[in-house]
Amino acid sequence: MRGNALGRQPLFPHNSHMRDCTAATLRRHSRRFYVPKILNHGVSALRRVNGRRSLSTLIATIILVAVTVAASLVLYSLFTGIFASYSQSIQCLVSINLVRPGGSASYAVLSITVKNTGSVPIKSISVQYVPEGQTSLSSISLTWDPSISDSSPLPPGSSASATAVLTTGTGLPPLPISGKTYTFVIKVTGTGGQTFTETLSVPCGN
């Protein structure tokens, strides 16, 4: 109060101005110290999100590659098996001759030749036919030349022949009649379990 009585100016004549300057200074400092922190937190959050996205993309890519490889292996195995089955085929060329001498002999002669035209050795050949007056197949016992068995199969490109004499009697089917045609079924089995079946209509000669 003394100072005012002497006409002196107050020690801090501009208190309101100083308060404004102090507030402005604090705001600048707050911007200086807090804004970078907020930005740093934002960048870190973005990095974490991008990192998760990158990891998810990497995992998805790995899964996609694994599925593609597995599908390729399955297709390869499938087509390899198909091509192998085609390349390991069994085929035969069969010829049969059936004769009853004189047309009235008490026997008939059956001659058969099988040529292995496939790519698999043949381990067995069976022959059946439908006898005169019957509807079911009857087996014929044959001895092949050369001999055919599991241990001695017929190789590709080779032929085997057999001859059988058909007779009549108790328990035996009737003899073929000259001039009539009979059905023969030939079944061939390869060493790999493949089978080939051919049905032929064979006329009986005299």
Running DSSP on this structure, what letter comes out for residue 150?
S
Number of H helices, E strands in the chain: 2, 7
The residues facing 109 across adjacent strands are 99, 165
Tens of pLDDT along 147-202?
Answer: 999 999 999 999 999 999 999 876 788 899 999 999 999 999 999 899 999 999 99
The tens digit of pLDDT for each residue in 54-94 reads 667 778 888 888 888 888 887 776 656 555 554 568 899 99
Task: Choose between 1 and 144: higher pLDDT.
Answer: 144
pLDDT digits (tens, 9 = 90+) for 84-137: 554 568 899 999 999 999 988 999 999 999 999 999 999 999 999 999 888 999
Q: Which residues pair with 139 in a beta bridge?
A: 128
Share of the chain above pLDDT 70, in %: 67
Q: Which element (helix H / strand E) includes 82? A: helix 15-87
Looking at domain 92-205, which CATH architecture does it have?
Answer: Sandwich (2.60)
Q: What pLDDT is attached to residue 20?
A: 53
Give the amino acid at 12: F
pLDDT of residue 99: 96
Confidence (pLDDT) at 173: 87
pTM for the whole structure: 0.58
Question: Could you read off the pLDDT of 22-53 as tens digits, one per residue?
Answer: 555 555 555 554 555 555 655 565 566 566 66
Which pairs with CB-CB distance under 8 Å and at least 24 residues apart come from 34-37? none
3-state secondary structure of 200: strand
CB 140 within 8 A of CB 110: yes
pLDDT at 163: 95
- Whole-number Å distance between alpha carbons of 160 and 157: 10
Residue 1 has pLDDT above 50, yes or no: no
- What is the dihedral sign for C-alpha 186, 152, 146, 144? negative
Confidence category of residue 8, pLDDT binned at 50, 70, 90: low
Report which of residues 6 and 112 the model is more confident about.
112
**What pLDDT is recorded for position 59?**
81
Contact 192, 120 (CB under 8 A): yes
